[in-house]
């Protein structure tokens, strides 16, 4: 079990298949700020709202030299359907083997109706242009979150 990441830590490197084909990697984005938001599952109500909110603000993130990447354990094919259905403009990374969710410490034991299971805890990381974590939002509540992240990016 990796220690929990903290502000000031170097962000764990990653490379994975993304929606639309191809790869997304942290290394390829050097020199840009990167918002990495982890979400449980494509096309569920909270995850859809979060993706739409980040999509709505994408032009503002672009102006702030910031790439937004949503990551779940869904396949790239599921990401493609999710992105097309909702006209999403953010990159969706497919962490099918779970290496990235593990590295970022968001693969957690959860509970639903008394049943325990493993799943992604909704969390967001703001990584600066040098690869250092500048903000962490654990246990994200979706409403207003993308706007809060944009304000933090602008404050860098």
H or E stretch covering 4: none
* Active-site annotation holds for 97: no
Dist CA 27 CA 130 (whole Å): 10
Per the CB < 8 A criterion, the answer to whether 19 and 91 are in contact is: yes
- Within 8 A by CB and 6+ apart from 90, the residues are 51, 54, 55, 58, 68, 69, 70
CA distance 1 to 112: 23
Among 5, 34, 47, 83, which one carries the catalytic annotation?
A: 47
Q: Is the sign of the CA dihedral 98, 108, 68, 100 positive or negative?
A: negative
Whole-number Å distance between alpha carbons of 93 and 153:
21
Residues forming the active site = 47
């Amino acid at each position: 079990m990796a220690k929990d990441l903290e502000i000031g830590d170097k962000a764990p490197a990653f490379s994975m298949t993304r929606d639309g084909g191809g790869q997304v990697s942290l290394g390829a984005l050097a020199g840009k700020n990167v918002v990495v938001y982890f979400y449980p599952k494509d096309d569920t109500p909270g995850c859809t709202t979060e993706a739409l909110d980040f999509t709505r603000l994408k032009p503002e993130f672009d102006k702030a030299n910031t790439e937004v990447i949503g990551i779940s354990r869904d396949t790239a094919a599921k990401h493609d359907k999710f992105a097309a259905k909702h006209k999403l403009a953010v990159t969706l990374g497919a962490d099918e083997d779970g290496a990235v969710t593990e590295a970022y410490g968001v693969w957690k034991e959860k509970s639903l109706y008394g049943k325990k299971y493993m799943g992604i805890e909704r969390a967001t990381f703001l990584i600066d242009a040098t690869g250092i974590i500048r903000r962490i939002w654990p246990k994200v509540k979706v409403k207003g979150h993308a706007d809060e992240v944009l304000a933090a990016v602008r404050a860098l």
